[in-house]
Structure 1
Amino acid sequence: MMRVKKIFGFSVSLILINLASIMERADENLLPAVYKEVGAAFNAGPTDLGYLNFVMNFLKSIASPLAGILALHYDRPAVLAIGTVFWALSTGAVGVSQHFQQVAFWRAINGLGLAIVIPALQSFIADSYKDGTRGAGFGLLSLIGAVGGIGGSIVATLMAGKDYWGLPGWRLAFIMVALVSFIIGILVYLYCTDPRRIPGNHLLDDDDYERSHLSSKDVLPPTSIWMDSWVAMKSVMKVKTFQIIVLQGIIGSLPWTAIVFFTMWFELIGFDNRSSAALNSLFAIGCASGALLGGVLADRLSRHYPDSARIMCAQFSAFMGIPFSWILLTVIPQSTDYWFAYAVTLFFMGITISWCATSANNPMFAEVVPPKHRTMIYAFDRAFEGSFASLAAPAVGLVTEKIYGYDAKTVNIANGSAQGAYALSRGLLTMMILPFGICVLFYSPLYLVFKHDRDNAKVARFKDQELI
C-alpha cells in the first residue's frame, strides 16, 4: 500500500510538487528578463523576441493533451519527471546556443516539456484538496511558484549585465536553472506519490482504490490507452463550463502574454537592470499575493454562494485590469523620476488582476468532470488558451513596430529611448485593455451553466461507483 511520506508533518509529495512549480516559473521568466541582452547578442528586435515566446507557448499549448493521455495510464510523478527533463535540457541548450535559429528550436523543445508538466501539476493539486478548499490550494501553488518566477527574473536580470569566467551572465543563468530543474525532476520521480494511489484519500473511496489496485495486478482486463484517451477527450469537450472558460481564457490570456515585454519597456524608459528587476519583482509579488487572496476569498464566498461566488471573483479581477493598464501605460509619465509611482501601481495591479485561475477557473474545472479526467481538462484548457494567447507576444511586436514606429536599428536600448518606450507602451496597451474587457463579458454565461455541469459530474461519479 502506498502511504504519504512526510517531513515535519508536511507531505513530501506536495513539497516536491511546489519545488517543481518554483522551477517551472523560473524557467518561464528567464528569457523575458534578458530580452535586451538576447536581442543584442542575436541582433533581434521586438518581433523576433516575441517570436521566441510564441514558439515556446504554442508548443506548450498544442502538446498539452499529451499530459492528459500520459496521466490516464501512468503515475503523475513519472509524467512530471519526463516533462522536467525535456525543459531542463532545452533550457541549458538555450544558454549555449550560438545562432538565433538554435534558440528558437530549443525554446520549442522547452514548450514541449512544459506542456507535459503544467497540467499534471494542476491535476495533482486538484486531487490533493477537497471541494471548497481548492482555491486556497491553487493559490498556494501560485504563490510558491511565484517565488521561482521572481527569483528567475531577479537572478537573470542582475546576472545579464556581467560576464562570469568569460561567459555572458544571461547564458550562465539559463545553465544554472537547467541544472536545478533536472535535479528537482529526479527527486519528484523518486519520492512523490500520486494521490490516486493513496488508500483513504478523500477523492478515492475504498471501491475505487480496490479497482485501481486490481487493475495494476492485471486482475481486471487492461484498457486501450487510445480508447480511454478518446473517451476522456469527448467527455471534457462536451462540458459547457469548460467551453466558456476556455473561450474567455483565449482572450484573457493575451494581456498576460504581452506582459513579458515589461522588462524591455522599463529599460527603454531608462531604468537600469536593478530598478527593472525591482519593478518586475513587485508586480510578481502582487500577483502571487493576489492569487492566494483570490483563491481563499472565493473559497469562503462559495460556501454561501456556491453557484456564483467564483464567477463574480473572476469578473472583478478581469475588470481591474482595465484601469490599472490605463494608469500604468498612459497616465504615469515615462521617466525614471517616477519609479515609485510605477512600483505602487504594479504592486496593486498584481494583487487585483491575478484571481481568475485560482478563484474560478482551476477549482471549477475540478468540479465539473470526474477525478480521472482532471489532468485531461487542464491539458485541453492549456491547449486552447495557450495556442491563441501565444500570438500576443509577436502581435505586440508587430503593433509596436508597424503602427507606432519602433525601429530596432535606431533605438539605443542600452541608454534608454523615449520614442521606443512610447511605441512599446502603446503596443502593450492595445493588447491589454480590450482583452480584459472582453474577458469580463465572457464569464457571464457561467451563471447559467456551472451548477448544471457540477451536478452532472457528481451523477457521473456515482454511476461509476455503482458499476464497480
Structure 2
Amino acid sequence: MIHPILALILFRMQEYFSKFTFYSITALHFFSSCRSKKIFGFSVSLILINLASIMERADENLLPAVYKEVSAAFNVGPTDLGYLNFLMNFLKSIASPLAGVLAIHYDRPAVLAIGTVFWALSTGAVGVSQNFQQVAFWRAVNGLGLAIVIPALQSFIADSYKDGTRGAGFGLLSLIGAVGGIGGSILATVMAGKDYWGLPGWRLAFLVVALVSLIIGLPVYLYSTDPRRIPGNHILDDDDYERLHLSSKDVLPPTSIWIDSWVAMRSVMKVKSFQIIVLQGIIGSLPWTAIVFFTMWFELIGFDNRSSAALNSLFAIGCASGAFLGGVIADHMSQYYPDSARIMCAQFSAFMGIPFSWILLTVIPQSTDCWLAYAVTLFFMGITISWCATAANNPIFAEVVPPKHRTMIYAFDRALEGSFASFAAPAVGLVTEKIYGYDAKTVNIVNGSAEGAYALSRGLLTMMIVPFGVCVLFYSPLYLVFKRDRDTAKLSSFKDQELI
C-alpha cells in the first residue's frame, strides 16, 4: 500500500506533468501559427530578421560613439582605438565563410541565433572590461559573432525577394537597420557623459545593448523560418519559388559538410562579377571604416555629446534613406537597362563621396558655430554615397550564383572586402599621428582641440577621397561580365531542376 504522502506527491507530479504537456503542445501550436502570420503584408520571419538587423547595427555603432570616453578611461590615442575597430572588422571578415558553411546544412534562424549569442555576450563583456587588452579581446570575439550573422541576414533577404525587387528589399533592411545604428550611437553618446549608480554611462550602454540583443535572438530562433522551407512564399511567385526550392536541394546524395562547402567556395570564387565587386569593395570600404572617427572629430572641434550625437544621427538617417532610395531607383532603372542600371547607380554613388568629403573636411570651418552647415552636408552626403550595396552589390550577388550558394557569396564578400578594409581605422590613426602630428598626450579631448581636430580631419580626408575615386573606376568592368554571369547562374539553376 502506498503511503498517503507519497500518493499525494505522485498525484501532484502527474497533475503538473499533464499541465506541462498541455502548455508545451499549446506553445508548439502557437510557434507554428506565428511563423505563418503576416503583419502589414510581411511575414513574421522577415520582421524578426529586420529586428536582428537593428540590434546588429546598434552593436557596431557603440564603440565609435564612445571613442573619447574609452580614450580617457584607458589613456590611448587614435591608433589604439583604430586597432580596436581593426580587430573586430578583421575577425568579422575572415570568419565570414563560417556562415556560408553553416547555412549549407542548417536553417539560417539557427545560424543567426548562434551568432547573436556570440555578439551579445562579447558586447556585455566590453562593458565590464578593466583594461585595454580585455576590450581588445572581446571586440575580436564580437567580430566572430557578427561574421556569422551578417551573411546569413543578407542571403535571407536575397531569398525572400524576386530579382526585380531585391534593391528595395536590401534598401529596406538597411533603412530599418539604421534605426539600430542611430539608436546605438545616440544611446552610447548621450549616456557616455554621465554615471549611473556609480557605473560610467558608456559601460552601461554596452550592457543594455547586450541584454536586448539576447532578447531579440530568442524569437528569431523560435519564430523565424528559412525561406528555403516556406512553400508559397508571400514575396516569391510560384516559378521563382519552385526554382529556388529545387535548386537549393542536393542534386547528388549528400556528402560531408566540408566537401559541400569546398564545392560552393570554388563555384563562388570563379564568378567574374564577384571578383570585380570584391576588388572595388576592398577599396570602397576604406572610407566607411574611416567614418567611425566622425564622433571623435566632432568632439575635438568642440561639440558636446548631444550635438555630436545629432550630427551622427543626421548622417545615419541620410545613409539609411539613401540606401533605400538607391535600391528603389536601381530596381526601376533595371527594368529598362537590366545589364547596366545597377552598375551606373553604384558609380554615381561612389563618385558623390569625393565632393562631399572635400566640403565636409576642408571647406566648412572647424567651429561649433557651423553646426547647421555640418548637419546639412552630412545629411545629403549620406543620401548620395550609400547606394552601392543596396542598388548594385547585394542584388548582383543574388543573380550571379544559384540560390543554394547565396550565403556563401555574401560570406566571402565580407571575408575578402572586410579583411582588407579593416586596416583603414588604424591607418587613419597612423596618418593622423605620424603625418599630421596628433598627440594623444597633449590634446585636450574633454574640452576640444583645434589642432587635434585639424590633424584628424586631414587623416580622414586622405582615407576617403582617393578610395572613392578608385572605386568608381573599378566598377567599370562589370559592364562586360555581369550579363554573362547572370545568364550562367540561371542556366545552372535550371539544370539542377532538370536533374532532380
What TM-score does the superposition give when structure 1 sets the normalisation length?
A: 0.96
Preserved CA contact (<8 Å) 1:214 1:220? no
Aligned mates of 1:320, 1:212 — CA distance in 2: 36
Q: Give the secondary-structure state (helix, strand or coil) at the position aligned to 2:362.
A: helix
Q: Give the secondary-structure state (helix, strand or coil) at the position aligned to 1:44.
A: coil
Q: Which residue of 1 aligns with 2:146?
A: 114
Q: Which residue of 2 aligns with 1:46?
A: 78
Structure 1 residue 223: deviation in Å?
2.4
Preserved CA contact (<8 Å) 2:162 2:236? no
Structure 1 residue 218: deviation in Å?
12
Q: Residues 365 and 168 of structure 1: is their aligned pair in 2 closer, same or farther, counting only changes over 3 Å?
A: same
Q: Residues 227 and 326 of structure 1: is their aligned pair in 2 closer, same or farther, counting only changes over 3 Å?
A: same
Q: Which residue of 1 aligns with 2:310?
A: 278
Q: Within 5 Å, give how 1:37-76 maps onto structure 2.
A: 37-76=69-108
Structure 1 residue 207: deviation in Å?
11
Aligned mates of 2:231, 2:258 — CA distance in 1: 27
Structure 1 residue 224: deviation in Å?
1.3
Structure 1 residue 65: deviation in Å?
0.2
Q: Residues 209 and 295 of structure 1: is their aligned pair in 2 closer, same or farther, counting only changes over 3 Å?
A: closer
Whether 2:479 is the aligned partner of 1:447: answer yes
Aligned mates of 2:436, 2:257 — CA distance in 1: 51
Aligned mates of 1:223, 1:214 — CA distance in 2: 18
For residues 37-87 of structure 1, the C-alpha deviation after alignment (integer angstroms, 9 at most, x for no partner) is: 001000010000000000000000000000000000000000000000000
Structure 1 residue 210: deviation in Å?
9.7
Preserved CA contact (<8 Å) 2:116 2:217? yes
Q: Residues 208 and 290 of structure 1: is their aligned pair in 2 closer, same or farther, counting only changes over 3 Å?
A: closer
Q: Residues 18 and 337 of structure 1: is their aligned pair in 2 closer, same or farther, counting only changes over 3 Å?
A: same
Structure 1 residue 201: deviation in Å?
3.6
Aligned mates of 1:422, 1:207 — CA distance in 2: 57
Aligned mates of 1:279, 1:59 — CA distance in 2: 29
Preserved CA contact (<8 Å) 2:99 2:147? yes
Aligned mates of 1:275, 1:455 — CA distance in 2: 50
Preserved CA contact (<8 Å) 1:130 1:202? no
Preserved CA contact (<8 Å) 2:247 2:493? no
Structure 1 residue 5: deviation in Å?
3.1
Preserved CA contact (<8 Å) 2:247 2:402? no
Preserved CA contact (<8 Å) 2:249 2:404? no
Q: Within 5 Å, give how 1:15-414 maps onto structure 2.
A: 15-201=47-233, 221-414=253-446
Aligned mates of 1:210, 1:327 — CA distance in 2: 50
Structure 1 residue 25: deviation in Å?
0.2
Q: Give the secondary-structure state (helix, strand or coil) at the position aligned to 1:327.
A: helix
Aligned mates of 1:415, 1:264 — CA distance in 2: 12
Q: Residues 215 and 406 of structure 1: is their aligned pair in 2 closer, same or farther, counting only changes over 3 Å?
A: closer
Preserved CA contact (<8 Å) 2:86 2:425? yes
Preserved CA contact (<8 Å) 2:228 2:248? no
For residues 95-123 of structure 1, the C-alpha deviation after alignment (integer angstroms, 9 at most, x for no partner) is: 00001000000000000000000000000
Q: Residues 417 and 208 of structure 1: is their aligned pair in 2 closer, same or farther, counting only changes over 3 Å?
A: closer
For residues 230-280 of structure 1, the C-alpha deviation after alignment (integer angstroms, 9 at most, x for no partner) is: 010000000000000000000000000000000000000000000000000
Aligned mates of 1:139, 1:213 — CA distance in 2: 25
Aligned mates of 2:292, 2:110 — CA distance in 1: 31
Q: Which residue of 1 aligns with 2:22?
A: none
Aligned mates of 2:323, 2:40 — CA distance in 1: 26
Unpaired segments ≥5 residues, structure 2: 1-34
Aligned mates of 1:144, 1:336 — CA distance in 2: 31
Structure 1 residue 199: deviation in Å?
1.4
Structure 1 residue 222: deviation in Å?
3.2
Structure 1 residue 221: deviation in Å?
4.2
For residues 320-358 of structure 1, the C-alpha deviation after alignment (integer angstroms, 9 at most, x for no partner) is: 000000000000000001000000000000000000000
Q: Residues 219 and 290 of structure 1: is their aligned pair in 2 closer, same or farther, counting only changes over 3 Å?
A: closer
Unpaired segments ≥5 residues, structure 1: none
Structure 1 residue 7: deviation in Å?
3.8
User: Where does structure 1 differ by over 4 angstroms across 4 or more consecutive aligned residues?
Assistant: 202-221
Q: Residues 22 and 211 of structure 1: is their aligned pair in 2 closer, same or farther, counting only changes over 3 Å?
A: closer
Preserved CA contact (<8 Å) 1:254 1:392? yes
Q: Residues 211 and 429 of structure 1: is their aligned pair in 2 closer, same or farther, counting only changes over 3 Å?
A: closer
**Which deviates more, 214-223 or 174-183?**
214-223
Structure 1 residue 217: deviation in Å?
13
Aligned mates of 2:160, 2:144 — CA distance in 1: 25
Structure 1 residue 6: deviation in Å?
2.4
Q: Residues 353 and 303 of structure 1: is their aligned pair in 2 closer, same or farther, counting only changes over 3 Å?
A: same
For residues 433-467 of structure 1, the C-alpha deviation after alignment (integer angstroms, 9 at most, x for no partner) is: 00000000000000000000000000000110111
Preserved CA contact (<8 Å) 2:247 2:497? no
Q: Residues 411 and 194 of structure 1: is their aligned pair in 2 closer, same or farther, counting only changes over 3 Å?
A: same
Aligned mates of 1:170, 1:115 — CA distance in 2: 24
Structure 1 residue 127: deviation in Å?
0.4
Q: Residues 214 and 325 of structure 1: is their aligned pair in 2 closer, same or farther, counting only changes over 3 Å?
A: closer
Aligned mates of 1:418, 1:165 — CA distance in 2: 34
Preserved CA contact (<8 Å) 1:203 1:371? no
Structure 1 residue 10: deviation in Å?
3.0
Q: Residues 355 and 14 of structure 1: is their aligned pair in 2 closer, same or farther, counting only changes over 3 Å?
A: same
**Which deviates more, 50-59 or 204-213?**
204-213
Structure 1 residue 200: deviation in Å?
2.7
Whether 2:24 is the aligned partner of 1:9: answer no
Aligned mates of 1:193, 1:416 — CA distance in 2: 50
**Which deviates more, 262-271 or 220-229?**
220-229
Q: Give the secondary-structure state (helix, strand or coil) at the position aligned to 1:414.
A: coil
Aligned mates of 1:366, 1:110 — CA distance in 2: 27
Aligned mates of 1:8, 1:204 — CA distance in 2: 17
Q: Give the secondary-structure state (helix, strand or coil) at the position aligned to 1:132.
A: helix
Q: Residues 408 and 214 of structure 1: is their aligned pair in 2 closer, same or farther, counting only changes over 3 Å?
A: closer
Q: Residues 101 and 286 of structure 1: is their aligned pair in 2 closer, same or farther, counting only changes over 3 Å?
A: same
Q: Residues 214 and 121 of structure 1: is their aligned pair in 2 closer, same or farther, counting only changes over 3 Å?
A: closer
* Larger Cα-atom Rg: 2
For residues 334-391 of structure 1, the C-alpha deviation after alignment (integer angstroms, 9 at most, x for no partner) is: 0001000000000000000000000000000000000000000000000000000000
Q: 2:469 aligns with which of 417, 437, 440?
A: 437
Aligned mates of 2:310, 2:378 — CA distance in 1: 11
